[in-house]
Amino acid sequence: MAGKMQSELTRWWDVIVVGAGPAGCSAAYDLVLSGRRVLLLDKNDFPRSKACAGGLTMKTVQALRYSVEPVTRQLIRHVSLESKNKKSPLLEGVYPFVVMTVRSEFDDYCFKKTKELGADFLRIRGIKRIKQDGKGVTVETETETLQAKFVIGADGANSVVRQFCTDLASVKKGFALEAQLPMQSETRTVTIDVGAVKDGAAWIFPKGDHLNVGLYVINEEEHLSRKLLLDYIRRKFGSEIEGQISHVVGQYLNSYGWEGRCAQGRVLLAGDAAGLTDVMTGEGIYSAVLSGQIAAQAIEEHLCGRAVAADAYQKGLRPLINRLSLSARAASPFYSNPNFLLNVLSIPGVSSLLMKAYTRNLGAHGSGPSRSQILARKLTYGLLAGLGQKKQAS
């Protein structure tokens, strides 16, 4: 079944997914694959501009149901971690560490794959009201009334769906600001500059024909500005680059949604709408993809009479929430003392172990991380979280 045009749309679906980004498309894709009638809603047409560094970690690539080769700009095997007064040994992996994409291209690709599979799509101006009862959910847009058995809110950091779920815990916001500039020389190394801003970091991501350079803070109260970003770019690349800087955009990143529930009745939240960004790294796409898939599975279990969707979703999120919680505890000590990790990485053998933990063989699609990879990640976060507890006790 191909995606229907607006005039052909029915007014009742199994699931309405609000937001057609990675979280929404991942949920819709799996639901359509299971034979469910799914409607995607979004305020934008695709492709659309989106502030995002566009680096897909290997766990994200493995989680997706399809290859991202058509939108891959570069495969990155080298990572440089640095701070104001220290630089780690260059981290090198046998397998890629990050797959570089341009976010607008990646989102458009996921959107098209989902529509091609059979999801319906409706562009809307906004949502006025969401009401639910024991049988389903009614979504009132500016122009229409739509009904479904379930709604998945995947509408980002400023989620309208979340605003109608009054029983959910509040989220905390980080912020990222980025720009593009021309590639001055060919590079296949990602640079993470820890401490470039207070409680945050800078990144430099190569994209083949340009660089994506940005700043990230774990707390929105540490205000980022266009001036801060431009000053950083000038320090790294020289003042002559200023006239070539383009696409300066910012984005809020929601975290700590895991401190409460991510579902209320027949409404489930995924990705940034659920507050599932990794605080330490700022990575949101992996949580978006995975939570969308878990939401789809929970709804499928409910529709098959095996579980209550909201409870199944919360249970399914538990492994992800545990990792995000550990990362959040590690974030503050890491950003307040970045040299600690850089010193650890200087110990012979540690950097190679870390790269094995975070890189994946692209041929092993869908296999999931190995036990040694999971252990190495826990050790990394555990070291940092332990440092934070030690500093609080002193």
Give the global pTM: 0.88
pLDDT at res. 357: 59
pLDDT at res. 2: 43
Tell me how crowded residue 102 is: count the other CB atoms within 10 A of its CB: 20
Contact, 147 vs 137, CB < 8 A?
yes
- Integer Rg of the chain from CA: 21
pLDDT score of 383 more than 80: no
Predicted confidence band of residue 1 (pLDDT cuts 50, 70, 90): very low
To 10 degrees, the CA torsion angle through 38, 297, 253, 362?
A: -100
Tens digit of pLDDT for each residue in 246-300? 999 999 999 999 998 999 999 999 999 999 999 988 999 999 999 999 999 999 9
Tens digit of pLDDT for each residue in 352-376? 666 665 555 444 444 455 565 566 5
- Which residue is it, tokens 């929404």? 24
Tens digit of pLDDT for each residue in 126-169? 999 999 988 899 999 988 899 999 999 999 999 999 998 877 77
Tens digit of pLDDT for each residue in 81-107? 888 777 766 777 667 888 999 999 999
- Which residue is it, tokens 């579902």? 263
Which two structure tokens, joined as six digits, stand for 209?
Answer: 């024909």
User: Which of 1-5, 282-286, 332-336, 377-381 has the highest mean predicted lDDT (pLDDT)?
Assistant: 282-286
CATH number of 6-235+251-393: 3.50.50.60
φ/ψ of 34, rounded to 5, equals -85, 0
